[in-house]
A and B are shown apart, each in its own frame.
Chain A
Amino acid sequence: MNVLLSIAPIFRGRGLATVGMCWLLVVGIAAIGAPLLAPFDPLEFDPFIRLSEPGWPHLFGTDHFGRDSLSRAIYGARMAILIGSGSVLIALVAGGLIGMLSAYFVRLGHLLMRIVDVLMAFPALLLALVLMTLLERSVLNTVIVIGIVYATTTARIVFGMTLKLKRDVFVDAAICSGAGNTSILFRHILPNLMSPMLVQASFIFAFAQLQAAALDFLGLGLPPEVPSWGNMLSEERVYVTRAPWLLIFPGALIILSVFSMNLVGDALRDNIDPRFKDDIAGV
């Protein structure tokens, strides 16, 4: 509850971002409560009702195996959150470490940042495609690949900020009171990177959705039986004229979620001023 209260002022006077946050909460609740909320088993085939129109009891209609679209969409929220948070975690930890170490240890930085530069020379989707073709289709691999793709941009951002921070006087002051490299990096520099990294996380979360959907659509992402919004688009794309609702619903879910995440990210970005941060911490 405290957490909710402390982020509330970020949304003050930002109607659209509030709506976005609410939508993300809905997605979150759907993900957590999927087994309770889903009216049908998302994997159960029923050939007699394939491609039925939206209506009762199949609110979103059924796909070409007769699976309930709404149930698959609800379970898809699970995948969306899993892929989003998994890639954010990998991107921030790997990218953050690479960026910080590269900026702090100049020689190491020459090596690591050139590797990052090479990886960044590829368009994000192409890089993800190349990496996915080398790996098996699985949830974990998808998360890892998307995480690596966004670790490069995170590393770049963190690299730049650490270069500036390590020249700040408070770092010199820390050295003067006897702090070692580890202490300076993780106790003095890292906390100053937290708010921009939080903003970065929100955008990675959003882009990871698009990236995962694109990989699914191209048949290189999650295994086809896994109910995800991207897989729903991919599997039903041939029925776009006969049963357009099978694409409209998951497509709309992806768009809404990415848009909401971007709105929330913008609101966060506008609030990274540390003075404001203290106000909301209740000091």
Chain B
Amino acid sequence: MALLDIRDLDLSIARGSELLPVVQGVSLTVEEDESLGIVGESGCGKSLTALAIMGLLEGSAVRIAGGSMHFQGQDLLALSPGERRRMMGDQMAMIFQEPMTSLNPVYRVGDQIMEAIIQHRGMSRKRARERALDLLDLVRIPDPIRRIDSFPHQMSGGQRQRVMIAMALACDPKLLIADEPTTALDVTVQKDVLELMLGLQRRTGMSIVLISHDLGVIAETCDKVAVMYRGRIVEQASTSELLSNMSHPYTLGLLGSIPALDHDVEWLDAIPGRVPTLDEVVPGCAFHPRCFAAEGSCRTVDPVAAAISPAHFVRCHFPQGSTT
């Protein structure tokens, strides 16, 4: 049984009386001790999918229009608020994109880490504080005994993101969702934070869902990859399979837009155009206006996901296959 099993998830945003689909038919599985990367441009539904898993869409304009989500065999959509609260922070946790605003500015960081420990583990304040010190040490915050009483604004972005990771790991969750955890950080700090997360994953055996717009980051860190475009998964495979046999033109485009570090590139191959807005109706394949391989049928017929090899799915009429 998969740790997290999402089937045909549909999310819609209510605008006036109409519902605009923002995520369509997303199916994902995450096994225990596995990391899944979700990659795509801004506005392709990556973060919304994460928010849906964590149950954070309540009170927003986005609603779950269809599909199912199971975590450890439990139906997430059928949980009562109380059951959901007991699960959050204990068995699943999330790290957010903005380290500058994801810590409460009026509390010392130690208190914020201790909160979940006290709530879920029923520890005394003293023991929770010891645990918080261990966690700060684990995420390699220098001098934890002094930093545990700092306020968030007294820390740098990288340190705050480490504190966020410590908070998320406080109760040894089974699943950690990281929504662009390194986007707001310097490149060097990015690398540190990613390595830290990976190391922790290997040590604790938790599963990670890493969301990023950077295919490079995902390729380096994740066991398998799902590429999303405009609310749909367009290609899904294990990382090694994807890298050796990249098939969707969009995935190739994402790869082409990563600057190489070992030699100078005059001009990056950016994907032309932009992601169509939600209310734009694109007949056929949603990617065809930007696709270099688009032909007649792409403009009229929406492709279905097809396996080009076991556990490698592509939603494209003309998968590029090993021609790259």
Interface residues of A (CB under 8 A from B): 106, 168-170, 172-180, 187-188, 191-192, 194, 274-275, 278, 283
Contacts and interface: CB of A to CB of B under 8 A. Distances in A.
B89 interface: yes
Contact of A278 (B92, B103, B154): B154
B167 A177 contact: yes
B120 interface: yes
Contacts of A168: 101
Contacts of A278: 151, 153-154
Contacts of B94: 172-173, 176
A173 B167 contact: yes
B116 A178 contact: yes
Contact of A177 (B59, B89, B107, B149): B89
7 contacts: A169-B96, A169-B98, A173-B96, A177-B93, A178-B90, A178-B116, A275-B153
How many interface residues does chain B have, given as a range?
35 or more
Contacts of A170: 101-105
Given A173-B94, A177-B89, 13 more contacts: A173-B164, A174-B104, A175-B55, A175-B88, A176-B88, A176-B93, A176-B94, A177-B93, A177-B168, A179-B89, A274-B105, A283-B149, A283-B151
Contacts of B89: 176-179
A192 B96 contact: no
Contact of B115 (A106, A172, A179, A283): A179
B93 to A, nearest CB: 6
Q: Which of B81, B92, B102, B107 has the most CB of A within 10 A?
A: B102
A180 B149 CA distance: 25
B106 interface: yes
Interface string B148-172: 0111011000000000100110100
A169 B102 contact: yes
A84 B65 CA distance: 53
Contacts, number: 81
A36 B153 CA distance: 49
A212 B87 CA distance: 53
Contact of B116 (A106, A177, A194, A274): A177
B86 A191 contact: no
A152 B167 CA distance: 38
A177 to B, nearest CB: 3
Q: Which 5 A-B pairs have the closest CB atoms?
A: A177-B89, A178-B89, A177-B116, A169-B102, A178-B88
B115 A274 contact: no
Contact of B107 (A106, A172, A191): A191
A283 B154 contact: yes
Q: Which of A174, A177, A178, A191 has the most CB of B within 10 A?
A: A177
A276 to B, nearest CB: 11
B125 interface: no
B56 A172 contact: yes
B124 interface: no
Contacts of A106: 59
Contacts of A188: 104
Nearest to A190: B106
Interface in B53-74: 54-56, 59
Contacts of B54: 175-176
Contacts of A177: 88-89, 93, 115-116, 119, 167-168, 170
B85 interface: yes
A178 B120 CA distance: 8
Interface string B212-224: 0000000000000
B151 to A, nearest CB: 6
A182 to B, nearest CB: 11
A163 to B, nearest CB: 11
A172 B96 contact: yes
Nearest to A181: B81
Given A169-B98, A172-B96, A179 B85 contact: yes
A178 B86 contact: yes
Q: Which of A172, A187, A188 has the most CB of B within 10 A?
A: A172
A172 to B, nearest CB: 5
A183 to B, nearest CB: 8
Nearest to A165: B104
Interface in B122-163: 149-151, 153-154
Given A176-B94, A178-B89, A274 B153 contact: yes
A275 B155 CA distance: 12
A274 B154 CA distance: 11
A228 to B, nearest CB: 38
Contacts of B93: 176-177
A177 B86 CA distance: 9
